[in-house]
Amino acid sequence: MKKLLFIFVLSMVLFSCKKEIISVKSNSSLLNNIRLQLKDSIAIADFINWDFDSVSTQVQEKKNLTIWRIPFINKNISTDFVLLKIENNQRFSFEKIININRN
């Protein structure tokens, strides 16, 4: 009985968190718009090190929030990436460079 309860609770936790992952390439106009905004706001030496071909997106509908993870060229996206918050007006409002050390 305890195992059944555990499996039920575990499945509720796993299936209750819904994130929609969308390919950014399907919306190339938004990608180009954000690229132009970023190019104007950061140093060109930093901009050329970002891999825009491998951008991953997460959309949370309840909060009208879109988060982009932009990896660096020749680095693993799980440890080094740029985090962008995209507003409904297709402008980014938050930019943060993330570097995760396992030590």
User: What is the token pair recorded at 49?
Assistant: 């090190």
Boundaries of every domain in the chain: 20-99
d(CA 29, CA 90): 10
> Is the predicted pLDDT of residue 26 greater than 60, yes or no?
no
User: pTM (2 decimals)?
Assistant: 0.62
Residue type, 14: L
pLDDT tens per residue, range 63-88: 677 888 888 888 888 888 888 888 77
